[in-house]
Structure 1
Amino acid sequence: MREIHPVIAGAPHIPALLLVGKEETGLDRTGQAYRAIRRQIIDLTLPPGSSFSEASLAQQWHISKTPVREALARLRRDGLVDALPRAGYVVSPITLQDTDDLCALRTLLSGEAAAASARRGVEAPALARLKELSKVPFALAAGDVEFEEELHAAIEFEAIIADSSGNNRFVKAIVDVLDELERVLRMTALIAPEAASPPGELEAIFERLHARDADGAQAAMRKRCERVRNDVLQALAKSVSVSRAHIEMPAPSLPPT
């Protein structure tokens, strides 16, 4: 089991990936069910389009239907599941439009977080951890680590920068985006396994943070986010489900009057 690094362990909000296998104290039955179902959706155990019922999930975790029902209501508000009349629930699809919107929001938030962190100054332990994480893409390119390790490092890297901004609401917003983005990145890896972070990309962000260069840190982070956005959209466009989607007729334009 991977341990949570001390730098991120004390953060007010932590990405779901970093909590896998960890016990969270203070969660009631609804909170536990919510976290468990959400994790299965994010890691594609429950893939987009899969259907299930309250009863099947309650049986899986040996709990009553009530906390499952309440957890699913929260997941509907998150946009991760849809209710089917008299037929249970279905995991929401990953669409190009929603992915584009999500990636654009990530570019905005993470770019601002990098700038704020550089202005404020990243504390030495966090800076050392960022330097360590920035080397992981080099290890991936050399074949020394797998996708899972690189994904974990990338999300932790961004979460540390968000936490270093000093704004807890900012951190929560970015962590929520990272959790949703994880599902998209996993889907992208299945469609286009050759896609990977270029070595040096995280390192460039680290160097600007180390220099306390707010404009440079923001530009380097935005460049990375936009590269990911383009890679993800290109990969998803290759999906069989997209290529077989029905093309809707555009609404006819009205003749001039």
Structure 2
Amino acid sequence: MSAEASRPLHPVTAGMAHLPALLLVGQEDAGLDRTGQAYRAIRRQIIDLTLPPGSSFSEASLARQWRISKTPVREALARLRRDGLVDALPRSGYVVSPVTLQDTDDLCALRTLLSGEAAATAARPGVGAPALERLEALARVPFALAAGEADLEESLRAGIEFEAVIAHSGGNDRYAKAIVGVLDELERVLRMAALIAPEVASPPGELEGIHEHLRARDADGAREAMRRRCERVRRDVLQVLSQSTSVSRANIELPPPPAQARH
């Protein structure tokens, strides 16, 4: 994928309570304290694969990189450990948590459940006109990608923003926060899949179909269209990651032998 660039947020997106990490790239973080700034910066490097799974680092190296003291870095890493993105190594720093097929499958299943219901919840009362207009614009990006007028980075951003806008349109702040958290975790997996198989992308018409159901206030149709999208991504990602050499060359672990029957 191409390098991420700063770009202004659309007014609909800027007004959301919870923004996906990808949409915050290049945005001002003046309101954050040093720990918050360190957390956002390190987390971004993990998600965009600057710090790939399995890479190791120390508090000191990150403190030098960001030109801050070790204390905010240490506190940021404690938060990242709670997020499940890093693991501590005894007396030798930290390592970025690996991505496994099981965890990826679980994450995609959760995304299907949450985003499908979010689409139905947003469709019932009707999505506001500004949000519908934004969703329509985002739904055109896969067509631009297919025509060579957009790149994979733009497509990834559009897909994540599309689901985040729907999540916030349902009026449930906690639900929106949960979905944005899943989207942030999913971004790292999607980037890994794109590096392995760049040809795998959202087919034109997929987002457009969801938008049409939302515009028609068709809750069941919106739920099913979103579920189909999420399950398509789930199949594509698992198939691509299973072809990775790091997976195909992994050691095969045998189950423990059955306990001998007592006589």
Task: Choose which of 179, 183, 200 in structure 2 pairs with 1:178.
Answer: 183
Residues matched between the structures, number: 257
Q: How far has the Cα of 1:255 moved from its partner?
A: 5.8
Cα deviation digits, residues 207-251 of structure 1 (max 9, x gap): 000000000000000000000000000000011110110100122
Q: Which runs of 5+ in 2 are unaligned?
A: 1-5
The whole-number CA distance in structure 2 between the counterparts of 1:256 and 1:139 is 65
* Cα deviation code 1:194-216 (max 9, x no counterpart): 10111110011000000000000
Aligned to 1:17: 22
For residue 223 of structure 1, what is the aligned residue in structure 2?
228
Superposition TM-score, scaled by structure 2 size: 0.96
1:235 and 2:240 correspond: yes
Give me the whole-angstrom Cα distance separating, in 1, the residues matched to 2:218 and 2:260.
Answer: 56
**1:67 counterpart residue number:** 72
| Residue correspondence of structure 1 range 1-257 to structure 2 within 5 A | 1-254=6-259
Identity %: 77
Three-state SS of the structure 2 residue aligned to 1:89 is strand
Q: How far apart are 1:256 and its partner, in Å? A: 6.2
The separation in 2 between residues aligned to 1:233 and 1:200, in whole angstroms, is 22
Which runs of 5 or more residues in structure 1 are unaligned? Answer: none
Q: What is the CA-CA distance between 1:254 and the residue it aligns to?
A: 4.2
| 3-state SS of paired residue (1:139) | helix
RMSD, aligned α-carbons: 1.0
Distance 2:117 2:221 in 1: 11
Partner of 1:120: helix, strand, or coil? coil
After superposition, what is the alpha-carbon deviation per residue over 1:168-192, rounded to whole angstroms, capped at 9, x for unaligned? 0001000000001000000000011
User: Taking structure 1 as the reference length, what is the TM-score of the superposition?
Assistant: 0.98
CA distance in 1 between partners of 2:99 and 2:54 (Å): 9
